[in-house]
Structure 1
Amino acid sequence: MGTKSTAVKALRPWIASYPEGIAWNAKIDTRPVHEQVLAACAKNPAALALDFLGGTTSFGDLAKKITAFAGALQQQFGIKKGSRVALMLPNTPFYPIAYYGVLRAGGIVVNCNPLYTVQELSHITSHAGADVLVTLDLAQIYEKAEALVRAGHVQSLIVCHFPDALPLVKKVLYTVAKRKDLASISKSSVAGKVVKFSDMLARGAPPSPVVIDPQNDIAVQQYTGGTTGLPKGALLTHANIAANMSQIDHWGCGVFAPPSKVVAVLPFFHIFAMTVCMNVPLSNGTPVIMLPRFELKSLLNLLTRTRANVMPAVPTLLAALARDKSTTTEQLAGLEVVISGGAALPNEIRANFGRLSKATLAEGYGLTEASPVVCCAALRVSSKPMSIGLPIPATDIRFVDVDTQKPVGIGEDGELQVKGPQVMKGYFEDEDGDSGAFMDGWLRTGDVGHMDEDGYVFLVDRIKDLIICSGFNVYPRTIEEALMTHPAVDETNVIGVPDDYRGEAPVAYIKLKEGQSATPAQLKQFLQEKLNKIEMPKEFIFREALPKTLVGKLSKKELREDYARMKAEKS
């Protein structure tokens, strides 16, 4: 017995550090998520499922709308197993209805960030082959959807009427006071290709049965990317998504079950929120309290009104809560568990938030290709500070030397690699991406770190040049290519730098063409239509020459050193 125990500790040292009641080899449920959610709806139809700015949806109503939407997708649009349907929606009740409706119809969800530029959205929708796009009639979002149809990247739009998501009084007030914020669909240049979401639900058409093979059928094609800047479609099977939900459930020890209430201020189109803020609670029959976007006052009002006790967050959000002088301990008193993900959690933010809230603040780690959670600090008891916690149940990890690609020992730095039922099937139509993503069957994360003798994982750096701003991936090449279209720019190199608010932020180093001039304000104005707000550089730094490697490639290493030196001199 002792020998076996020692062998297990050597193979998976983290198991010995698991909190009481959690088993690494726990049974993993891989039933499709829409089946689990519909089962939760049937179990307690009168219970609260969704709260959106005070407007509520019961689990029974949620089930009716999901099935009605699925039936309409099949009958009106011919959606069947393997059909790709794009969703470009902020957090509203429309999102879970559309998401589970697509899955119930047999389709594949393709998430689109409404903040993306038309150019970015064009790549995703055309690459995925998503002919149908579900979106909102808020003008700033609808205009992008309209452009995608005009360009031929999308054939049909299903448009949700934003005021329908609001409680009655707010709906009336919004329709009167903010009508200008809504797109005029009847006057749209693509009006003939628009179907109203409400009309589809009103049909009440029952969906035809669809047989799902969880291990092989794709549920979500989630776009992510690497240093190339071109997003890749990670193919997440029904089993991948359900497995990660099950793993999180085991790890949470009831955190996501009633009577909990989960705050969804992170956007559902992001893999972290899709899994942790929506799929896990709703499959447990737990209400989800939504905000369409992060606004400090709105979030504080939500926490005060609902006394929600579980809040997945990103460090940016926690920093804003802790920094704002209007935030009070009483407003955060209902919180019991806060899970930070999407980017590294600085110790300063952890300490500042801890002064306001007694909630357990647990840092987690994941990536799109793992549906996404890989490691997490314990949610009920304390963990080692500055660690991303332990590998969650059914997950194996190893660290591999970046140069020799051989496994390293305890305490030695190497690339973090992952195996588990949550790991994606591969990338959509990208054999080169697949070969680079895996090593001997292990998913490569591109993150460098180590494990201590107790199995706790610590990250120290990233191999990739990827910049993570407020939990979102920002690709230097995207910014560089946009800058290079400016007539005065000769060379540019973009790096990520520490940022108190966003975790990281892009900074652009620029060499101008001889005899040309440009100011930071002019460059920012030039980039407004080419980059989204998250991608916009926080600084533009001009140099007469940019450092290069021996083979002539622009080098980021020297720029990072240069920026750190400049900051040190100013402080």
Structure 2
Amino acid sequence: MEVVRPWLKQYPKEIPHTINYDNKPLSQFLKDAATEFPNKKAIYFLGKELTFQEVYVQACKIAHYLQEIGIKKGDRVSIMLPNCPQAVIAYYGVLLAGGVVVQTNPLYMERELEYQLNDSGTKVIITLDLLYPRVSKVKPLIKSLKHIIVTGIKDYLPFPKNLIYPFIQKKQHGMVVKVEHSGTNHLFTKIIETGRIDEIEMEIDAKEDLALLQYTGGTTGFPKGVMLTHYNLVSNTLMCAKWMYQSKRGQESILGILPFFHVYGMTTVMNLSVLQGYKMILLPKFDIQDTLKTIQKQKPTLFPGAPTIYIGLLNHPDIGKYDLSSIDCCISGSAPLPVEVQDQFEKVTGGKLVEGYGLTEASPVTHSNSLWGERINGSVGLPWPDTDAIVLSLETGEPVEAGTIGEIVVKGPQVMKGYWNRPEETAAVLKEGWLLTGDLGYMDEEGYFYVVDRKKDMIIAGGFNIYPREIEEVLYEFEKVQEVVVAGVPDPYRGETVKAYIVLKEGVTCSSEELDQFARKHLASYKVPRIFEFRKELPKTAVGKILRRALIDEEREKQKKEA
């Protein structure tokens, strides 16, 4: 397809139209940073600091150990950790060993964990001591899983926090998990204490070899593993660095709240920081008070986030008591960013906040507004260097004129290789290198893109991707439920929230609390419906298919009348 690129005229002169991408593995970022910035602080975590040299040496130790316990090139290793030093060390350790990272959400319950580990063929999982009981419970159900490497938050806390933390952990979680370094259980600390520190060489074809399996999904079934190569991730990280052209190499610090088990946080925080020699200020979870204190004390200059994070901070009653002026720029992703939030956040911090766009299948960023140029309200911005984007007619599949709504499709070096073991689903979204996003939008005459709706029924709540069918299948297992449909309904804080419409079996009674308790046993908390509505029947087509979209439209109309 012929591509017209009006957006290139909008680029600031500092941003190149094309970039030279070396055919090198993603792990080279860390090796280069350890050479160029050996003594510079790479990570700050609750008072503990690590240099780039320390991170690299520890990653090499993890890599050697993984190879010793049987990890070969292309083998999958799951990382089930919050943002902490071990998450960075493990990630690059797996890559140095030639393995493929499988990012696993620490909130996953046994059912979700079993599916992902089986589907990916994970051989080793690196996880927290608190999560060990959950992982060990599903281990017998996963033929490929041979080893569990366990770490704890206290392992990378400074004295005396490391001594106090177990007591806090017991108070908060009601337990302290102790795991012995023996058999198929391994302790992260023991590996770091005794591991080999020599450099590790692995032959990697960056364009062909996978670096990451990142799970995403849709309404057509269970989550799919998106195959991202070293080249995909390297190119998207380099694009990000070029887009942030005023940020100074080796001098910035970046607030790491976005989880690294989400590809957005992985690229725009972790990989970008390692590439550019930035200090990562890591927080294991988003707590508004802790975040405000951390910004004031550690003074990050860069702050990638999601709308719910910025909204949460702005609505805190004490925000005026904190100095947030260190923040220079932020790119918001994962969900639409309200204009009033942009304006208010820029006023409070004095920095820039702009909206971007992307998807897991594109590593993930494809578009963004200019950080220091003109910001177009309501637009997700311009395609990044080497990224093409067009809008196709839903009727003809042909490119449409500027201003006409259709499906956004993208092409570039960051676009995935395909879905893991799903050739038919890969063929459905990849057409001659073009990725069909499933998102509806348009491009204006200047080359700015606007997203107006989604073809998919995926729910984005608080930045999390949630797939209705998965929740429906769980709720269908509840003995009192006859029919259920799950939909995303508008929510002023989370963007969308999960609502379940329930038809009960005849003659039974049931409360929302009963359904909530059942769902929480089988689903991560962010997937559990916030609203349950009981109905006598659900809208359906002539062939019996439940009309989810009719319920969403009904909800929007109801909210309009109430507004």
TM interval, short-chain normalised: over 0.9
C-alpha contact (below 8 Å) 2:219/2:456 kept by paired residues:
yes
**Using a 3 Å threshold, how does the CA distance of structure 1 residues 176 and 471 change in structure 2: closer, same or farther?**
closer
Aligned counterparts of 2:32 and 2:306: Cα–Cα separation in 1? 30
3-state secondary structure, aligned to 1:185: coil
Structure 2: how far apart are the matches of 1:550 and 1:367? Answer: 34
Alignment of 1:13-24 (within 5 A): 13-24=6-17
Indicate the residue corresponding to 2:134 in structure 1. 144
Q: Which residue of 2 aligns with 1:494?
A: 486
Cα 1:43–1:354 shift into 2, 3 Å: closer
Supply the AA of the counterpart residue of 2:505: K
Give the Å deviation of 1:330: 4.2
Contact 1:52 1:290 in 2 (8 A): yes
> Secondary structure of 1:318's match?
helix
CA contact (8 A) 2:252 2:278 kept: yes
Which residue number in structure 1 is paired with residue 525 of structure 2?
533
Q: 1:199 aligns with which of 190, 193, 200?
A: 190
What are the superposed Cα offsets for residues 535-555 of structure 1, whole Å, 9 maximum, x if unpaired? 111211111110012322100
- Where does residue 5 of structure 1 map in the other structure? none
SS of corresponding position for 1:168: coil
How is 1:155-194 mapped onto 2 (pairs within 5 angstroms)? 155-179=146-170, 181=173, 183-186=176-179, 192-194=183-185
Closer, same or farther in 2 for the Cα pair 1:478/1:135, shift >3 Å?
same
Displacement, 1:379? 1.7
Q: Give the conservation status (yes or no) of the 8 Å contact 1:256–1:262.
A: no
TM-score, normalised to structure 1's length? 0.94
Q: Compared with structure 1, are the counterparts of its residues 373 and 177 closer, same or farther at alpha carbon in structure 2 (3 Å cutoff)?
A: closer
**Matches of 1:496 and 1:179 in 2, distance apart?**
36
Query: Which of 326, 329, 339 is 1:347 aligned to?
Result: 339
2-side partners of 1:48 and 1:232: how far apart?
Answer: 36
Among 25, 39, 44, the alignment partner of 1:51 is 44
1:20/1:208 Cα in 2 relative to 1: closer, same or farther (>3 Å)?
Answer: closer
Partners of 1:196 and 1:309 in 2: CA distance:
35
TM-score in terms of structure 2 length:
0.96
Query: Partner residue of 2:379?
Result: 387
Deviation at 1:382, TM superposition (A): 3.1
Per-residue deviation at 1:84? 0.7
Q: Kindly provide the CA deviation profile for residues 162-205 of structure 1, in whole angstroms up to 9, marking residues without a partner as x.
A: 21111112112213443565543348xx9742111111122232
Which residue of structure 2 lines up, in the alignment, with residue 3 of structure 1?
none
Query: Is structure 2 residue 309 aligned with structure 1 residue 317?
Result: yes
Residues 15, 245 of structure 2: 8 Å contact kept = yes
Gaps of 5+ in 2: none
Corresponding residue for residue 405 of structure 1: 397
- Aligned equivalents of 2:169 and 2:425: distance in 1? 45
Unaligned runs of 5+ in 1: 1-7
Q: Structure 1, residues 341-370: CA drift from partner, whole Å, max 9, x if none?
A: 011112233233234222100111111111
What amino acid is aligned across from residue 14 of structure 2 in structure 1?
A: G
Q: Distance in 1 between matches of 2:289 and 2:76?
A: 37
Alpha-carbon separation, structure 2, partners of 1:516 and 1:345: 43
Q: Classify the secondary structure of the residue corresponding to 1:242.
A: helix
- In terms of mean alpha carbon deviation, does 155-164 or 349-358 score higher? 349-358
Secondary structure in structure 1 of the residue aligned to 2:228? strand
Is the contact made by 1:105 and 1:207 (CA closer than 8 Å) also made in structure 2? no
Equivalent residue number for residue 423 of structure 2: 431
Is 2:229 the counterpart of 1:219?
A: no
Q: 1:65 aligns with which of 36, 41, 58?
A: 58
2:497 to 501, 505, 512: 505
CA deviation profile, 1:420-466 (whole Å, cap 9, x unmatched): 00011111110111111113431011100000011001000000000
CA distance in 2, matches of 1:330, 1:135: 34
- Residue 43 to residue 445, structure 1, CA distance change in 2 (3 Å): same
Distance 2:96 2:445 in 1: 45
Counterpart AA for 2:448: Y
Which residue type is aligned with residue 18 of structure 1?
Y
Aligned-pair RMSD on alpha carbons? 1.8
Q: Is the 8 A contact 1:72 1:203 kept in 2?
A: no
Change over 3 Å in CA distance of 1:36–1:256 after alignment to 2: same
Determine if the alignment matches structure 1 residue 281 to structure 2 residue 273: yes
Shift of 1:237: 0.6
Q: Deviations over 1:304-361 (max 9, x none)?
A: 1111010010011011011111112743211110110011112233233234222100
- Does residue 552 of the first structure (1) align with residue 544 of the second (2)? yes
Q: 1:102 aligns with which of 94, 97, 112?
A: 94
The SS at the match of 1:297 is helix
**Contact 1:223/1:231 (<8 A) preserved:** yes
Asked if 2 retains the 8 angstrom alpha-carbon contact of 1:30 and 1:243, the reply is no
State the number of aligned residues: 558
Cα separation, 2, equivalents of 1:329 and 1:437: 49
For 1:484-531, what per-residue CA distance to the aligned partner results, in whole angstroms no more than 9, with x for missing partners?
A: 111221111111111122111111111112111111112111211112
What per-residue deviation string (whole Å, max 9, x for no partner) do you get for residues 207-241 of structure 1?
Answer: 54211100101111111111124111111111110
Q: Name the SS for the 2:304 alignment partner.
A: strand
Alpha-carbon distance change, 99 to 447 in structure 1, aligned in 2, over 3 angstroms: same
SS of alignment partner, residue 133 of structure 1: strand
Q: Distance in 2 between matches of 1:381 and 1:329?
A: 30
In 2, Cα distance between equivalents of 1:183 and 1:330: 35
Check the 8 A contact 2:292/2:322 in 1, yes or no. no
The residue identity in structure 1 corresponding to 2:194 is R
What percentage of residue pairs aligned between the two structures are identical?
38
Letter in 2 for 1:167: P
Answer whether contact 1:134 1:157 (CA < 8 A) is retained: yes
SS at match of 1:559: helix
CA distance in 1, matches of 2:294, 2:241: 25
> Using a 3 Å threshold, how does the CA distance of structure 1 residues 179 and 357 change in structure 2: closer, same or farther?
same
On the 8 A contact 2:490/2:556 being kept in 1, the answer is no
